[in-house]
Structure 1
Amino acid sequence: MGKKRLEQNGSKTLETNMEIDEKDDYILKSSNEEPKTHSEDWPLLLKNFDKLNIRTSHYTPLVEGCSPLKRDIRNYVSAGYFNLDKPCNPSSHEVVAWVKRILRVQKTGHSGTLDPKVSGVLVVCIDRTTRLAKSQQNAGKEYVAIFKLHNSVESEKQIRQALDNLTGALFQRPPLISAVKRQLRIRTIYECKLIEYNPSQQMGIYWMSCEAGTYVRTHIVHLGLMLGVGAQMQELRRVRSGVTSENDHIITLHDILDAQYMYDNQKDEKYLRRIIRPLEALLVQHKRIVVKDSSVNAICYGAKILLPGILRFENGIELNEEIVIVSTKGEAVCIAIALMTTSTISVTDHGIVAKIKRVIMERDTYARKWGLGPVASKKKMGLVQKAVEGGGGESSSNAKAIPQLEVKEEVQSPKKKIVEVEVEKNAKKEELGKKRKMEESSTSSEEEEDEDEDDED
């Protein structure tokens, strides 16, 4: 019985295998089509990587660097930020100081001051991310405000019309209670929407999108003047700061305390990784240029972003637009100002693509790869030969005739080259030796003259 069952099962498996073989031919077929990569789900700055324009695909990958989400916990914290839900009453500076004390980090910053009575989104930057704080402070903001009218109005439509009139470029003077000088300034209101109005309480809620530095309290005072009844702000909450909104991983101060406690006592870092976001998440709206691994460290030292070092670039890059330079692993290298458009990059084969505005990555994260090309190698060989010839006992005229070394900006390293230092040291030693010989010869001649005079006496 058992043998029959085994034979039956074996025949069934053979039949199914035959059916599969008939349906599919498991053969690698040659084709001219490129393999499709689906990068819609790739994280942060690598999203839609396959849709970027390709300038070249040839480069040497380096072992240094890693994906922003896979950094070790120390680097992950120092290159991260919080989307903090600031509570009412403490000031922004107090909250940032508390975060610095809890995490025991060197530096903290924020994306724009909130008044003590205002709650909402406060982007708290840690250590290396503070380099992006200035750009986040200048980004647009969104608020939800509660206002109270001093008298009733005819209809809700009148309030909507007044809010529509209070959009665009407006003159504003800071409120009486403010930390800045009360000078007249121009601020742009992009959009205003009335969410709700209660005629019995003469109170309403509205949403506004505005430029950084706008005073919502002053805007509500102007709304009361437009309506002719007067108005006053009751409550304010910031719902968006730059690319970060209150729906994007917002946390509280208690979450930070709990995560740090778990890491200190149980060495569990998953809670810190859950509340901290990599700095690259702040740059997802910027246009991208992907550079080779060999040029990353040179950019960190301030080198120009040249066309031969570019692998991929995004559509729609305009002149003087702020862009982000990205490594092949998705790390933000620096923020730069574009000096070429997308069409120019695709046509030309040399030139400066962008100038650096702010370097984000630490120096020497990647290996130094400049000064290893054919031109630099020839210059180094020439320097070594001159150093050898200079040490072989040349005459003073030949020693002085060694020309100063001129190195092009593209090849010049940030520190003085070792060979140049050796050449200078050898020249100085020769000059000192010759001076000593001259002094010794002069002293010996004087002694001989003195001895001759003594003999004559």
Structure 2
Amino acid sequence: MHGFLNLHKPNGLTSHDCVARVRRLLHLKKVGHGGTLDPKATGVLPIALGKATRLLQFLQSDKAYHATIRFGVQTTTDDLEGDALKADPVPWLTLDAIQAALPQFQGTIQQIPPSFSAIQVQGKRLYELARSGVPVEAPVRTVEVHHVEILDWRSQDFPELDVAITCGAGTYIRAIARDLGYVLGTGATLAALSRTASSGFSLSDSLTLETLESQIQADCFEPIAPVLALQHLTEWRLPADEAKRWCQGQRLPLAPTLSQFAYVRVHHEDGHFLGIGQPVCAEAEWLLIPKLVFEPQF
């Protein structure tokens, strides 16, 4: 079995837990996920099955979230899972003040990841260092936040803001919540998070673990074909003789019009998906090299 599963991750499970559950349900050794979600976060968790695990790196990188930010509260983890550092009511906070501050969190921004995150520093995860009490500075990262839209606002002692965020890979929504609170002088933390889209998969098409189990029991589960998950890549078809040579590792001449792409989706002339090609320039000639041969016909 090779393909993808658009899993709706439930509250309370880690991304690793979900992979383990899928592995047991499908009796499949090779299972991986694209983009970690925190245990309390829900929503789209792309799962790769079988040989499709090799394709995770080529999926779309943009993601979308619905988040709830609570003001007046600060925690060690920048969400409600951590210990409280501050909890002071801020009923005076207005939506106008938030709207004025939000533009600085859109576009290309600098972000310090939460101390409790999976980023590696000196060979160890930040959350491992934080739990052991080792003081360490998280490296500043440049991330892309495409759009932030206000969905709802609840004015109260600890006001809450619901937002929809679209962003690039590596963006921490917890850090946006924390930094927005800092700019407003109130402190803030992430109260809830749902990923509504990731790697080209959407929440509306996702399957819960319960639905997946039911489909497996009914023998009607069908993984998403790799080629459907790679539709964002430009297709390049090869005649039979060239397809065979390419699958054997040979470089082939490439149309200069495709040189603008980092990768292309390579197919046999009959439509069969062969793998991922990478355009390279060698001695003023554009060539297509095999980056990943997925399933040769030969």
Q: Which stretch of structure 1 is more off in the superposition, 83-92 or 190-199?
A: 190-199
User: Distance between the aligned counterparts of 2:45 and 2:286, measured in 1?
Assistant: 37
Q: Tell me, yes or no, if the aligned pair for 2:230 and 2:265 is still in contact at 8 Å.
A: yes
Aligned to 1:178: 117
Q: Tell me, yes or no, if the aligned pair for 1:152 and 1:229 is still in contact at 8 Å.
A: no
Q: Tell me, yes or no, if the aligned pair for 1:337 and 1:354 is still in contact at 8 Å.
A: yes
Equivalent positions of 1:136-151 (< 5 A) are 136=59, 139-150=61-72, 151=90
User: Distance between the aligned counterparts of 1:81 and 1:306, measured in 2?
Assistant: 31
1:329 aligns with 2:270: yes
Aligned to 1:451: none
Over residues 360-401 of structure 1, what are the superposed CA-to-partner deviations in whole Å (9 max), with x where a residue is unaligned?
22x4x23xxxxxxxxxxxxxxxxxxxxxxxxxxxxxxxxxxx
What is the percent sequence identity of the aligned residues? 25
1:241 aligns with 2:180: no
Structure number, greater radius of gyration: 1
- Deviation of the 1:186 alpha carbon: 2.1
Q: Tell me, yes or no, if the aligned pair for 2:247 and 2:290 is still in contact at 8 Å.
A: no
Over residues 127-150 of structure 1, what are the superposed CA-to-partner deviations in whole Å (9 max), with x where a residue is unaligned?
1111111233x7121111001111
Q: Tell me, yes or no, if the aligned pair for 2:110 and 2:140 is still in contact at 8 Å.
A: yes
- Deviation of the 1:279 alpha carbon: 0.7
Which structure has more helix as a fraction of its residues?
1
- Deviation of the 1:177 alpha carbon: 2.3
* Structure 1 length-normalised TM: 0.54
1:283 aligns with 2:230: yes
CA pair 352-316 structure 1, distance change in 2 beyond 3 A: closer
SS of the equivalent of 1:277 reads coil
1:199 aligns with 2:158: no
Aligned to 2:144: 188
Q: Tell me, yes or no, if the aligned pair for 2:246 and 2:289 is still in contact at 8 Å.
A: no
- Deviation of the 1:295 alpha carbon: 2.7
Higher relative contact order (CA 8 A, sep 6+): 2
Aligned to 1:272: 221
* Structure 2 length-normalised TM: 0.80
Equivalent positions of 1:346-425 (< 5 A) are 352-361=286-295, 363=296, 365-366=297-298
Which structure has more strand as a fraction of its residues?
2
SS of the equivalent of 1:338 reads strand
Aligned to 1:11: none
Aligned to 1:220: 177
CA pair 317-161 structure 1, distance change in 2 beyond 3 A: farther
Aligned to 1:158: 97
**Unpaired segments ≥5 residues, structure 1:** 1-77, 264-270, 308-312, 341-350, 367-457
Aligned length: 261
1:92 aligns with 2:15: yes
- Deviation of the 1:189 alpha carbon: 1.5
Q: Which amino acid aligns with 2:269?
A: T
SS of the equivalent of 1:191 reads strand
**Unpaired segments ≥5 residues, structure 2:** 73-89, 119-124, 127-137
SS of the equivalent of 1:280 reads helix
